[in-house]
Amino acid sequence: MTSLSVSVARAQLPALLARVESGEEVTITRHGRPVAVLVRPDVLRTRRATKVFGEADRIRTLVDGARETSITESPGMTIESAEALIAEIRAGREA
């Protein structure tokens, strides 16, 4: 991946666009720090789709795990902790 300063990129924009069009990625820097990356739109769409599919797989795994876990296996809230929570809420309202 090529890295150029903003001023160089501005001066070479048509040539940079041709390089990006041919598949190269170009990082534009300001004061030595990356601020932008030029990529072809199809590459960007592919990266976004890959990220979305990865997140969908993660959610599917969570849902499948939840289906396999019985509600009765979870200890839930005890009467004592429920009463303590209600008392805390009431104290907050009165304050």
Phi, psi for residue 26 in degrees, rounded to 5: -125, 125
Enter the pTM of the model. Answer: 0.53
Cross-strand partners of 34:
29
Q: Which residues of 45-68 are buried (b: 16+ CB within 10 A; e: fewer)?
A: eeeeeeeeeeeeeeeeeeeeeeee
34 three-class SS = strand
Average pLDDT over residues 34-56: 92
Instruction: Tell me what percent of the residues of the chain surpass a pLDDT of 70.
Output: 94
Q: How confident is the model at residue 72 (pLDDT cuts 50, 70, 90)?
A: low
Domains of the chain listed by start with CATH number: 2-39 (3.40.1620.10), 43-94 (no CATH)
CB atoms within 10 A of CB 37: 13
CB atoms within 10 A of CB 38: 19
pLDDT per residue over 9-40, tens digit each?
Answer: 999 999 999 999 999 999 999 999 999 999 99
